[in-house]
Amino acid sequence: MTGWKPLPLAVACLVMLGSFALRGQVSPDVPYERLRDAAKEPRNWLTYSGTYFSQRYSLLDQVTPSNVKNLEQKWMYQAGVTGTWQATPLVVDGVMYVSQRPNDVVALDAKTGRVFWIHRYVPPADQKACCGANNRGLAILGDTLYMGTLDARLIAIHTKTGRRLWDVPVIDYQLSYSITHAPLVVKDKVIVGVGGGDLGVRGLIAAFDAKTGKELWRFNTIPAPGEPGHETWEPCPPESSTSLNDANYCDREAWKHGGGSIWLTGSYDPDVNLTYWGVGNVWPDYNNKQRPGDNLFAESVVALDADTGKLRWHFQFTPNGQYDFDAVQIAVLADMNWSGTSGKLMFWANRNGYFYVLDRTNGKFVQGQPFVKLNWASGLSPTGRPMQTPQPLGSITYPGVQGGTNWYSPSFSPRTGLFYVSVWEDYGTYYGVRVPVPYREGRSVSMGANQPYVPIPGAPTIPSIRRGPINNWTEVAGNGAIKALDVRTGQERWKFDTTDVSDSGIMTTASDLLVSGNREGYLQMLDARTGALLWTNNLGGQIVNAPITYMVDGKQYIATISGYALVSFALRD
């Protein structure tokens, strides 16, 4: 068990108590076949996005638009740590498993909230995870849970006892790598990627043997010489400079630290044996002059053979990016009759402001439409390539640096045919002068602009990834909304406006109920067909995860995280 670290005494005691707490209960057993057919057992929530298709749609229908007013809180678990809590829990046969900051795993009774055990993993103090000490969730196979850590390790934990089974490094964390997303289990493999794109890492996706932790394959999201896609890291032009003091600076080895991180969980289609992963921003984020070419596979989706890790196809949303438009959003899969396609489709609301439909068997562009105000491109070509229109210095670019949407999970309802997404509406950013950026291995680095977050006129505050004081908000700063898009046209069917922007994901059910949250701390239930508000409850803390639903002993529960509290609701008895 290479890399295993002994548990501190206090943590070992928690694990021991957990094993007693679960005595008498059947240890969860989740073979691959259950993961593959997860949609057939909606009482559970078996993957980060519910199923391999990542629709965040549940067949449960006990809670309906007509009785949702009878929801009441059933239990609450209060975390003992602080910071934004972005995790999505798993629920397996009445047991809930959830990660909490920085790398704890908690097992609870999904009916009562009683804690069975807590497994604590303490990353080293010198870990360099970009953008917060987040962990977004877990994966399960058999009787084992899997979690990535802030110091870029993959660990396996026994579901019943909470004991660590193995612990392996994915890559050297001291080079600014981390893992913040929930792993994806496919067959006998655990697949993870690494974060750190804003720190100049070179991204990767790797698969490990679920029983032993042995690495089985690795795919570099930024290709080296001789690998497909490297030709898009073009040579520096003759007139460029090698001096960082020259505005014409060009990095001759830009691909070696080209970004392309992975920080959200991929999707999987068992029929074609492809796993789909969104790839993060290119580095440096803003100075595209420093790295000529399209810069594959940054800001793209890649389709990999799940057995070998070989690239089958890719589609790049924002070539030669200069806006920090990560393409890590969730790939939502659906099977539909659609003329001219295989019927196997992928829906994608991208940070760049466009909603895309792709044929997921070959990556062919089917259609694309803007879903928020944008001006960085004038449209999409017949192949889906953006016709870029960079705005002059001093002009506002829409959408702003946080994008039209970001990492928060969307939902697709096969019943309504609508795609639901949390958006940042009418939100723009001034991008400053692009400046040369030196790469410093394992150290904090600039992203390539001297003033990337300058407020626009009339907006005294800038929407960011943190909740701000509402009295400073103005309409010019933009607002949040939930939008329902018709997947066949890309057109907006309805919109539910909120004052503050939102970081909450969305879940829908077979009773046409839509569940989401917002920064103001409200858990909200909408009619998925009309957008009408049906029920709301102020939980007090911002909701920055995506709600889930599950069933125990014949009762449907809806759970979310607000602030530092995990809360579960069900209909009044």
Query: Token pair of 228, please?
Result: 């497909």
Q: Would the pLDDT of 45 be above 80? A: yes
Kindly report the average pLDDT of the chain as a whole number.
91
In this prediction, residue 197 carries a pLDDT of 83
Q: Would the pLDDT of 23 be above 70? A: no
In this prediction, residue 465 carries a pLDDT of 54
Strand order in the sheet with 204-209: 184-186, 189-193, 204-209, 215-220
Contact 93, 28 (CB under 8 A): yes
Q: Would the pLDDT of 295 be above 60? A: yes
What is the C-alpha separation between 17 and 367, in angstroms, rounded?
A: 54
In this prediction, residue 463 carries a pLDDT of 63
Q: How does pLDDT run across 375-384, given as a tens digit for each residue?
A: 999 999 999 9
Range in 130-139, 170-179, 319-328, 538-547 with the lowest mean pLDDT: 130-139
Q: How does pLDDT run across 224-250, given as a tens digit for each residue?
A: 999 999 999 999 999 999 999 998 999
> For tokens 């209060």, what's the residue?
78
Higher pLDDT, 206 or 15: 206
Q: Would the pLDDT of 258 be above 50? A: yes
In this prediction, residue 9 carries a pLDDT of 35
Q: How does pLDDT run across 205-225, given as a tens digit for each residue?
A: 999 999 999 999 999 999 999
In this prediction, residue 240 carries a pLDDT of 95
**Candidate list 324, 326, 359, 500, residue with the active-site label:** 324
120 Cβ contact list (under 8 Å, min separation 6) = 7, 8, 10, 11, 14, 103, 104
Q: Would the pLDDT of 10 be above 60? A: no
Closest Cα to residue 324, out of 385, 368, 376?
376
Q: Would the pLDDT of 403 be above 60? A: yes
Q: Give the N- to C-terminal CA distance of the chain in Å, as an integer.
A: 48
467 Cβ contact list (under 8 Å, min separation 6) = 500, 519, 520, 542
Average pLDDT (295-322) is 98
For the whole model, what pTM was predicted? 0.94
Q: How does pLDDT run across 155-182, given as a tens digit for each residue?
A: 999 999 999 999 999 999 999 999 999 9
Higher pLDDT, 245 or 473: 245
In this prediction, residue 466 carries a pLDDT of 57
Burial of 226 by CB count in 10 Å (0-12 exposed, 13-18 middle, 19+ buried)? exposed
Helix or strand or coil: residue 36? helix
Instruction: Please state, for a pLDDT cut of 70, what percent of the chain lies above it.
Output: 91
What is the C-alpha separation between 480 and 355, in angstroms, rounded?
A: 17
In this prediction, residue 396 carries a pLDDT of 92
Q: Would the pLDDT of 4 be above 60? A: no
Q: Would the pLDDT of 1 be above 50? A: no
Q: Count Cα atoms within 13 angstroms, Cβ side, for 156.
A: 22
Q: How does pLDDT run across 331-360, given as a tens digit for each residue?
A: 999 999 999 999 999 999 999 999 999 999
In this prediction, residue 462 carries a pLDDT of 61
Give yes or no: 61 in active site: no
555 Cβ contact list (under 8 Å, min separation 6) = 62, 111, 570, 571
In this prediction, residue 182 carries a pLDDT of 98
In this prediction, residue 456 carries a pLDDT of 77
Higher pLDDT, 197 or 122: 122
> For tokens 């295993």, what's the residue?
4
Average pLDDT (452-472) is 65
Indicate left, alpha or beta for 476 from its phi (over 0: left) and psi (-120 to 50: alpha).
alpha
In this prediction, residue 440 carries a pLDDT of 83
Q: Would the pLDDT of 410 be above 70? A: yes
Q: How does pLDDT run across 498-526, given as a tens digit for each residue?
A: 878 889 999 999 999 999 999 889 999 99
Q: How does pLDDT run across 519-541, given as a tens digit for each residue?
A: 889 999 999 999 999 999 999 99
